[in-house]
Amino acid sequence: MSGALGAGKSAVALAVDVGGTKLEAALVRADGTVVEGTRSRRPTGSAATFASMRAAIEAVVAHALAGLPADAEFVGAGVGSAGPIDREAGTIDPVNMPDARGFDLRGAVRDAASTVLGLPVPTVFAHDGGCLALAEAWLGATAGAAASLSIVVSTGVGGGFVVDGTYLPGASGNAGHLGQVHATPELTVEQVASGPASVAWAVSQGWSGERGEDLARDAAGGDRIARAAIERSAGAVGAALADASTLVDLEVVAIGGGFSRVAADYVDLVREALTATAAHGYSRRTRVVRSGLGDEGPLIGAAALVLR
């Protein structure tokens, strides 16, 4: 690791992505490709603690760095996390992991990587929605857009903005926290539209399934309640995006995350809700597309914090 790449060597960064259900890491090359065999994950969940987070980080970081190619120059670590975060302090305050609030995520990744490599590792930290936005604008569905928002609809709902090719972190690093804007006076978008929230609503209406996968299966089979839960989620996301587009004048929104695949037409439903709700012609023209990078987007974006 050095300030300039060695002769014939290409840059590689460690990427770590922390979400409400999993923590994963991999090595990513300068062209945005994940180094084969370096990606691994560990569970997080609502019971995550400082100790469990640290153990998971040490495991995935060690696995990733064990695959460091001989022809690569390691340039540092990029870390993305579900928020809110404190970008300056490097700590997290995740909505879905109450016992992990205040955890020094940046420091834990830096220490784990430094221990494996035996030298200091430059480590950059951001909100996971911002990482996704950076990745999509670099290599994905929003490349070349004047103003874009990339979001995840999964265990939580979050996103990030890129304007004129520049990621906008905001004052504390939390810009794009779409999930915590209000869908109703009582409920946030995340409390209406996330996978767990949609499952819980369907159960409250008499549906007998347990998971998002069950919701997808039953909706495809014609179950009225399961389909209504999916439409309710997409409607809340689309309305929130209409407001975001009216405020920021977005050219395109990219949608990823596991729950966004609950129905083949989920992105279409979001687009219809945005168009129906947006206040002006310019916001109604905002394109809504599926993520171009799939589940690798947050990891690639975390690496981009260093590589780009």
Q: Which residue has the tokens 């790449």?
A: 5
- The CB density around residue 73, as the number of other CB atoms within 10 Å, is 18
231-273: pLDDT as tens digits = 999 999 999 999 999 999 999 999 999 999 999 999 999 999 9
The pLDDT, as a whole number, for residue 1 is 53
Determine the number of helices (DSSP H) and then strands (DSSP E) in the chain. 10, 12
Query: How far apart (Å, rounded) are the C-alpha atoms in residues 88 and 106?
Result: 10
- Could you tell me which residues are beta bridge partners of residue 12? 29, 74
Nearest by Cα to 297 from 139, 191, 171:
139
Distance CA 145, CA 135 (A): 13
Identify the band that residue 9 occupies on the pLDDT scale cut at 50, 70 and 90.
Answer: confident
Q: Is 227 exposed, middle or buried (0-12, 13-18, 19+ CB in 10 A)?
A: middle
Q: Is the pLDDT of residue 170 over 80?
A: yes
Domains in the chain, CATH or no CATH each: 10-127+297-307 (3.30.420.40), 141-292 (3.30.420.40)
- pLDDT of 43 reads 93
Which regions of 46-88 does DSSP assign to beta strands (E)? Answer: 72-81, 85-86
In the predicted structure, residue 65 carries a pLDDT above the cut 70 = yes
As a whole number, the mean pLDDT across the chain is 94
pLDDT of 308 reads 85
Residue 2: pLDDT band (50, 70, 90) is very low
Which one has a higher pLDDT value, 205 or 155? 205
Q: What is the mean pLDDT of residues 42-47?
A: 92
Half-sphere exposure of 112 (CA within 13 A, CB side): 27
The pTM assigned to this predicted structure is 0.89
Q: Looking at residues 201-230, what average pLDDT do you find?
A: 98
